[in-house]
């Protein structure tokens, strides 16, 4: 019972298993294919000239004395005989092109769906051409090949000649419409254009005196010219005898006007374009946009980087322990005169749930009131009573197992529930009380609050969250911002900076340990959020998922600022520390992000040791529906974090309660040890990476912008040099100063403010660099000299 989850065999993540050739092998195989295709091409071409001479040699392949006339000798003769005579006839010429293209594709290491598409269309063409030639040239087997002939024969037996003809016609229409995107309008347009060209030709060939539309023919019968068709073979409308010397003079301008009119009609037809059609064409030609292409060879971490943690044997609980606990429960309840009708045990990794159905007439409220007494009588730490279990009508008593089983991260990662999870940001937290793997989608939560006293498993919990995402997501799809005031817990992730981390443009460390930087990062995230909303608005979609789908389908033009948007997960360890030092400055942007960021793929995970009300304020709590409580020290803390008690009764070491609104689920958090995280990050870090960490929009602190009335004497010693750098580069950014003058972030920010006060750069403009108001060095000198006067 309850051992299903454990039995599932370890599986490597799906993407890690995919068959891939190394780059060198691709080059070798690619060139082989290209050369082979050239050989085939020459064989086929020369076969048409030499086949009769070489026919007798087909059976003499092994005979070294015999020489074939084919350019590639007996090989060429045999292969061509096979492909052309026995195969598809003339259509076989397509094979060398397909093979050559495949070779080139491998040689240049191209990606996308173009290759498969070419093969499918190539084969359709081969079959269609071969049947068509078999139909029209029955006597010439070298045109349609035996396959074409036989297929024709076969089809004609069932559908007759007309049926096959119609079938071929349908094939032609199918190819024209699907491959060349031909529409009936194209046909009409084509004929119209033809007509135009005939008319203009006629015009240019017409005699010089074109003022008259009535032209005398040899037999003196006037021919009326149709102004649109310009055909001179239309009979006259009136057959009356023409009046001598009567001519209808049409002013030249009018004729020209008619010509211009015809040209305009043509243009209107051509202007009908549809972005969707364009997008479809792009997708047809290049395949869908693949965000992972830049790191196309990225390999997902393998499962052997994770340890079993001795959990291979599964849950160990013996019958005696079960029996003992059952008796204790029954006896204790009997002491309070509560009879039990039924009792059932579900064994979990750390606790066993005893579900009780009380005898008829026992009021649940009575049991509820006795909660503490029952816990005392059972005399075990970590007993939690759930009366009643929501939706079941039974009472649950959770009793810790004597020997808790460690739930290894490995066991949850390999579980089919996680592997098959069709979620945006799947997280395998651990196992439930019934030993099922518990997987949730961070994108749906959409933000998470985590609390627990020191040493109860918070850091392990955070690592489990990050590890889950590392096992499921490509670096192009998700970016982390890690805030770690303790400076030790998350530093392990430094190695994956250029794969998975995002940071401010001018910061050196990707993992943020300085509280001031947290404020800037949060504000920068707010700018990123606003930018993303703007993009969503332009794309007319409601959320990041729709946006990215549209972008992948090439319906959004990168020239309009569109780009693939990765999810951003902000993890803050030790939030209490942060809010104590920075207060409102962090609370406001966090609340703003929490309220608005769900649709645009920014998700927050906040962990704290002290879940007191001044840390987890009302506004934060209201926006973090998903909460996790590890063991806390008091009932009050439990209430603060979960709005319910229970977290104080947990047993620690990863024993946790999870709620996403109403129901509270007890889980055993998956355990991932520091060496395992190290191995995973080293595995990822050793692979090819992006040139730098994902860059967040630049944000310059508001506080530095407020003191705009800097005294000249208070200016930084580097002020003048900074001004020169900015004016020469014509770019007002603090990061530029940091780079060029080797300044720290804060000092560069201060100088920028002083430059603003001096009127050298414009005001702060969000993610964009400030405008430089001084055009050149001469103007700068003038400005600074004037100040001194």
For 372, the enclosing helix (H) or strand (E) is helix 371-378
Residue placing its CB nearer to ligand ATP in the complex, 424 or 573: 573
Backbone angles phi, psi at 603, to 5 degrees: -125, 140
Q: Can you tell me the distance from the alpha carbon of 169 to that of 659, in angstroms, rounded to the nearest whole number?
A: 63
Q: How far is the CB of 315 from ligand ATP (least distance, A)?
A: 14
100 binds ligand ATP (CB under 6 A): no
Q: Can you tell me the distance from the alpha carbon of 687 to that of 559, in angstroms, rounded to the nearest whole number?
A: 30
Judge whether 726 and 772 are in contact, CB under 8 Å: yes
Q: How far is the CB of 488 from ligand ATP (least distance, A)?
A: 9
Residue placing its CB nearer to ligand ATP in the complex, 678 or 716: 678
Judge whether 598 and 624 are in contact, CB under 8 Å: no
Q: How far is the CB of 316 from ligand ATP (least distance, A)?
A: 15
Q: Which residues pair with 318 in a beta bridge?
A: none
Residue placing its CB nearer to ligand ATP in the complex, 484 or 753: 484
Q: How far is the CB of 410 from ligand ATP (least distance, A)?
A: 13
| Subset of 400-459 contacting ligand ATP (CB under 6 A) | 406, 452, 454-459
Residue placing its CB nearer to ligand ATP in the complex, 57 or 651: 651
Of the residues 609, 640, 735, 754, which one makes contact with ligand ATP according to CB under 6 A: 609
Q: How far is the CB of 412 from ligand ATP (least distance, A)?
A: 11
Q: How far is the CB of 420 from ligand ATP (least distance, A)?
A: 23
Parallel, antiparallel, or unpaired: how do β-strands 502-503 and 694-695 relate?
parallel
Residue nearest to ligand ATP (CB): 654
Q: Can you tell me the distance from the alpha carbon of 597 to that of 612, in angstroms, rounded to the nearest whole number?
A: 25
Q: How far is the CB of 402 from ligand ATP (least distance, A)?
A: 16
Parallel, antiparallel, or unpaired: how do β-strands 567-572 and 478-483 relate?
parallel
Question: Which stretches of 251-394 are assigned E, i.e. beta strand?
Answer: 340-347, 351-358, 384-386
Residue placing its CB nearer to ligand ATP in the complex, 198 or 580: 580
Residue placing its CB nearer to ligand ATP in the complex, 609 or 754: 609
H and E: helices and strands count for the chain: 29, 17
Task: Compute how many residues bind ligand ATP; rule: CB under 6 A.
Answer: 14
H, E, C per residue of 168-203: HHHHHHHHHHHCCCCCHHHHHHHHHHHHHHHHHHHH
**Before 319, cis peptide (omega within 30)?**
no
- Residue 459 annotated as lining a ligand binding site: yes
Task: Decide: helix, strand or coil at residue 338.
Answer: coil
- Residue 78 annotated as lining a ligand binding site: no
Judge whether 456 and 653 are in contact, CB under 8 Å: yes
Residues in Cβ contact with 634 at an 8 Å cutoff, skipping those fewer than 6 apart: 648
- Residue 732 annotated as lining a ligand binding site: no
Q: How far is the CB of 403 from ligand ATP (least distance, A)?
A: 13
- Residue 454 annotated as lining a ligand binding site: yes
Q: How far is the CB of 456 from ligand ATP (least distance, A)?
A: 5
| Subset of 527-546 contacting ligand ATP (CB under 6 A) | none
Of the residues 460, 481, 526, 576, which one makes contact with ligand ATP according to CB under 6 A: 460
| Subset of 648-667 contacting ligand ATP (CB under 6 A) | 653-654
Q: Annotate each residue in 228-267 with x if it binds ligand ATP (CB under 6 A) or - if it does not, as one string.
A: ----------------------------------------
Residue placing its CB nearer to ligand ATP in the complex, 442 or 672: 672
Helix residue ranges per DSSP H, 435-574: 458-472, 497-500, 515-539, 544-552
Residue placing its CB nearer to ligand ATP in the complex, 455 or 775: 455
Q: How far is the CB of 454 from ligand ATP (least distance, A)?
A: 4
Residues in Cβ contact with 445 at an 8 Å cutoff, skipping those fewer than 6 apart: 603, 625, 626, 660
> Among 530, 526, 528, 532, which residue's Cα sits nearest to residue 589?
526
- Residue 458 annotated as lining a ligand binding site: yes
> Among 663, 666, 665, 658, which residue's Cα sits nearest to residue 641?
658
Q: Return contacts of 612-615, CB within 8 angstroms, 24+ apart.
A: 612/576, 612/637, 612/640, 613/640, 614/579, 615/575, 615/576, 615/579, 615/580
Residue placing its CB nearer to ligand ATP in the complex, 144 or 485: 485
- Residue 457 annotated as lining a ligand binding site: yes
> Among 507, 467, 515, 516, which residue's Cα sits nearest to residue 490?
467
Residue placing its CB nearer to ligand ATP in the complex, 26 or 627: 627
Q: How far is the CB of 609 from ligand ATP (least distance, A)?
A: 5
CA angle 503, 519, 622 (to 5 degrees): 105
Q: Annotate each residue in 671-690 with x if it binds ligand ATP (CB under 6 A) or - if it does not, as one string.
A: x-------------------
Residue placing its CB nearer to ligand ATP in the complex, 67 or 454: 454
For the annotated binding site, the residues are: 452-459
Residue ranges that bind ligand ATP, judged by CB under 6 A: 406, 452, 454-460, 609, 653-654, 669, 671
Residues in the annotated binding site for ATP: 452-459
């Amino acid at each position: 019972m309850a051992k299903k989850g454990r039995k599932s065999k370890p599986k490597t993540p799906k993407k890690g298993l995919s068959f891939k050739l190394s780059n060198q092998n691709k080059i070798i195989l690619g060139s082989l294919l290209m050369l082979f295709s050239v050989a085939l091409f020459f064989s086929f071409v020369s076969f048409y000239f030499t086949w009769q001479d070489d026919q007798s040699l087909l059976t003499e392949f092994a005979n070294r004395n015999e020489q074939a006339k084919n350019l590639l000798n007996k090989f060429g003769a045999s292969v061509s005989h096979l492909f052309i005579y026995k195969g598809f006839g003339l259509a076989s010429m397509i094979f060398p092109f397909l093979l050559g293209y495949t070779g080139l594709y491998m040689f240049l290491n191209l990606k996308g769906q173009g290759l498969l598409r070419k093969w499918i269309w190539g084969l359709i063409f081969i079959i269609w051409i071969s049947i068509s030639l078999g139909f029209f040239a029955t006597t010439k087997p070298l045109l349609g090949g035996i396959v074409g002939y036989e297929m024709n024969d076969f089809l004609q037996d069932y559908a007759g000649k007309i049926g096959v003809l119609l079938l071929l016609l349908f094939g032609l229409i199918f190819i024209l419409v699907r491959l060349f995107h031909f529409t009936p309008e194209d046909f009409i347009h084509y004929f119209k254009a033809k007509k135009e060209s005939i008319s203009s030709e006629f015009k240019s060939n017409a005699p010089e005196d074109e003022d008259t539309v009535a032209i005398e023919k040899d037999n003196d019968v006037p021919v009326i010219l149709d102004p649109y068709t310009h055909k001179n073979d239309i009979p006259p409308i009136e057959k009356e005898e023409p009046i001598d010397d009567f001519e209808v003079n049409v002013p030249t301008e009018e004729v020209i006007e008619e010509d211009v009119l015809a040209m305009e009609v043509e243009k209107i037809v051509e202007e009908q374009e549809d972005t969707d059609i364009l997008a479809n064409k792009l997708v047809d030609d290049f395949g869908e946009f693949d965000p992972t292409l830049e790191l196309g060879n990225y390999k997902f971490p393998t499962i052997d980087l994770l340890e079993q943690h001795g959990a291979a044997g599964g849950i160990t609980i013996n019958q005696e322990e079960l029996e003992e606990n059952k008796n204790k429960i029954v006896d204790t309840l009997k002491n309070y005169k509560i009879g039990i009708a039924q009792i059932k045990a579900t064994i979990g990794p750390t606790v066993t749930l005893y579900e009780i159905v009380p005898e008829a007439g026992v009021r649940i409220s009575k049991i509820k009131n006795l909660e503490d007494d029952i816990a005392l009588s059972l005399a075990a730490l970590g007993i939690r009573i759930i009366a009643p279990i929501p939706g079941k009508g039974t009472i649950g008593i959770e009793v810790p197992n004597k020997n808790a089983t460690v739930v290894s991260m490995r066991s949850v990662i390999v579980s089919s529930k996680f592997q098959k999870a069709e979620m945006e940001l799947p997280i395998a937290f651990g196992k439930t009380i019934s030993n099922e793997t518990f997987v949730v989608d961070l994108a749906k939560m959409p933000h998470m609050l985590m609390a627990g006293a020191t040493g109860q498993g918070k850091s392990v919990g955070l690592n489990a969250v990050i590890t889950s995402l590392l096992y499921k997501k490509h670096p192009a799809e998700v970016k982390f911002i890690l805030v770690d005031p303790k400076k030790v817990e998350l530093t392990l992730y430094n190695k994956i900076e250029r794969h998975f981390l995002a940071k401010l443009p001018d910061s050196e460390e990707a993992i943020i340990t300085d509280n001031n930087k947290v404020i800037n990062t949060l504000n920068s995230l707010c700018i990123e959020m606003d930018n993303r909303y703007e993009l969503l608005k332009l794309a007319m979609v409601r959320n990041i998922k729709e946006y990215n789908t549209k972008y992948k389908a090439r319906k959004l033009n990168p020239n309009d600022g569109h780009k693939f948007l990765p999810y951003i997960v902000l993890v803050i360890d030790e939030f209490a520390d942060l809010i104590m030092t920075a207060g409102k400055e962090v609370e406001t942007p966090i609340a703003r992000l929490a309220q608005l960021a769900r649709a645009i793929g920014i998700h927050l995970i906040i962990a704290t040791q002290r879940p007191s009300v001044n840390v987890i304020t009302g506004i934060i709590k209201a926006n973090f529906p998903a909460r996790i409580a590890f063991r806390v020290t008091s009932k009050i803390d439990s209430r603060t974090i979960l709005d319910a008690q229970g977290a104080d009764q947990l047993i620690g070491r990863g024993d946790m309660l999870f709620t996403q609104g109403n129901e509270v689920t007890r889980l055993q958090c998956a355990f991932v040890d520091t060496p395992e995280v190290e191995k995973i990050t080293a595995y990822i870090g050793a692979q090819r990476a992006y040139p730098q960490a994902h860059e967040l929009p630049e944000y310059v602190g508001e506080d530095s912008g407020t003191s705009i009335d800097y005294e000249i004497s208070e200016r930084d010693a580097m002020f003048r040099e900074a001004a020169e750098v900015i004016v020469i580069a014509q770019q007002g950014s603090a990061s530029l100063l940091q780079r060029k003058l080797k300044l720290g972030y804060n000092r560069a920010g201060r100088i920028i403010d002083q430059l603003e006060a001096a009127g050298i750069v414009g005001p702060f403009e969000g993610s964009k660099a400030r405008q430089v108001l001084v055009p050149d060095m001469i103007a700068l000198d003038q400005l600074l000299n004037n100040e001194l006067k």
